Chain A
Amino acid sequence: AQSVSQHNHHVILSEAASLELGCNYSYGGTVNLFWYVQYPGQHLQLLLKYFSGDPLVKGIKGFEAEFIKSKFSFNLRKPSVQWSDTAEYFCAVTSSGGYQKVTFGTGTKLQVIP
């Protein structure tokens, strides 16, 4: 069975600080990896995704993530956060090919202080 762990449950940063949120997954096969974001009062939306190819993936709003297969990791980064990045971030994984369920991490609540 696949699982996802997010190391940071609550992160507080000042504006312009750099962000890195950890995500590790456990699965024996090929995976598809996602980061979703949930802004306060809004529904989950896709931030970025990795299926294959370049392991450095760029998403919306200046976010990026790097897939490191040897470490089973897919950490999310942003060089300079803004107050509007305050949200909850979920790492998710599905196994490649055909129909498979999505497994989510526990989420990381990011609070950016102006």
Chain B
Amino acid sequence: GAVVSQHPSWVICKSGTSVKIECRSLDFQATTMFWYRQFPKQSLMLMATSNEGSKATYEQGVEKDKFLINHASLTLSTLTVTSAHPEDSSFYICSAPPPGLAGGGNEQFFGPGTRLTVL
């Protein structure tokens, strides 16, 4: 089946620095990818939709200047957490819909997630 990878799998950074997380579709092209955030013992919260060739669509309450999303190619989306603070510490997960099918009407393929810890 289709595989989505994320890099890095975990990262520790100092407060005030920026961190970039990559999401790649390994064997298929994804014009749309999704970024989620998961707090301990809570559900996945959709942060934004990454669109290849256009601006990302952010969910209400998500700061677009804080969480920069760039869909650089049909297989790569990046999430940059700018000026990270301890409250940004979380588990970030990306997903992409199956090849040929875009949108939430179908299941998603999920990446393994990135654990961010901001000291």
A44 touches B110 (CB 8 A): yes
Instruction: Determine the interface band of chain A, counting residues with CB < 8 A from chain B.
Output: 20 to 34
**From DSSP, what is the main secondary structure of chain A's interface residues?**
loop
Given contacts A42-B112, A46-B107, A94-B105, contact A102 B43 (CB under 8 A): no
A32 touches B44 (CB 8 A): no
A99: which B residues are within 8 A, CB to CB? 32, 102-105
Measured between alpha carbons, how far is A49 from B41 in the docked complex, in Å? 24
Q: Identify 17 new A-B residue pairs, CB closer than 8 A, beyond the known A90-B43, A95-B104, A106-B43.
A: A4-B43, A36-B110, A43-B4, A43-B93, A44-B110, A45-B110, A51-B105, A94-B105, A98-B105, A99-B103, A100-B103, A101-B34, A101-B46, A102-B46, A102-B108, A105-B43, A107-B42
Give A5's nearest chain B residue, CB to CB: B43
A94: which B residues are within 8 A, CB to CB? 104-105
Contact among B43, B103, B105, B107 with A104 in the assembled complex (CB-CB below 8 Å): B43
**From DSSP, what is the main secondary structure of chain B's interface residues?**
loop
Within 8 A of B (CB), among A1-54: 4, 9, 32, 34, 36, 42-46, 49, 51
CB distance from B1 to the nearest CB of A (A): 9
Given contacts A101-B59, A106-B42, contact A49 B107 (CB under 8 A): yes
Measured between alpha carbons, how far is A42 from B77 in the docked complex, in Å? 21
Measured between alpha carbons, how far is A59 from B105 in the docked complex, in Å? 18
Cβ of A114 within 8 Å of any chain B Cβ, yes or no, is: no
A98: which B residues are within 8 A, CB to CB? 103, 105
- Could you jot down 19 A-B contacts, CB within 8 Å? A34-B107, A42-B112, A43-B93, A43-B110, A46-B108, A51-B105, A90-B44, A95-B104, A98-B103, A98-B105, A99-B102, A100-B105, A101-B49, A101-B59, A101-B104, A103-B46, A104-B44, A105-B43, A106-B43
A43 touches B107 (CB 8 A): no
B112 touches A43 (CB 8 A): yes
* Per-residue interface assignment for chain B, residues 41 to 72, with 1 indicating a CB less than 8 Å from any chain A CB and 0 otherwise: 11111100100000000010000000000000
Cβ of A80 within 8 Å of any chain B Cβ, yes or no, is: no
CB distance from B53 to the nearest CB of A (A): 15
